[in-house]
Amino acid sequence: MRQVIAYPHGDGIAIVYPVEGTGIPLTEICRKDVPYQTPYKVLLESDLPQDYEFRDAWRVDFTNPDGYGIGPQRWFIEQAEAAIVSIQNEQPPSTAEDISAWKVKQQQRLAGAQALKQQMLDELARGL
């Protein structure tokens, strides 16, 4: 059965329908797609009311949440930081002729991860 993520939003609740087959575990999708410090519950889609006419009246008990979101910027900062550590800990190839090309690719990947982290930090600073 398909799982959905519910979290409080304004006077109602928001429902996130995760895309299947992304390779990202549901717990990570929850952390990424739920706003910072917002509680969430993972529900079965079949547990949602079938009548969308009164969707604003839907309620979910968040007193014992399944977790709290960190939002997309903080999630991508975590991912970028992990990538930076991984790239910095890579071992160079054993042959001298491969080292130059490896160093260039490593620096490009490192620059990309650092740029992503900085972009997300800038978005947080702007309140996005």
Task: Give the SS3 label for residue 32.
Answer: helix
CB of 4 closer than 8 Å to CB of 49: no
pLDDT for residue 18 is more than 70: yes
Res. 20 pLDDT band, cuts 50 70 90: confident
Res. 12 pLDDT band, cuts 50 70 90: confident
The amino acid at 19: V
Q: Is the dihedral of CA 112, 109, 114, 69 positive or negative?
A: positive
pTM: 0.85
Q: How far from 87 is each of 82, 93, 115, CA to CA, in Å?
A: 9, 14, 14
CB of 63 closer than 8 Å to CB of 57: no
Q: What pLDDT digit, counting tens, does each position of 67-83 carry?
A: 999 999 999 999 999 99
- Residue 41 parent element (H or E): strand 39-44
Q: What pLDDT digit, counting tens, does each position of 40-51 carry?
A: 999 999 988 877
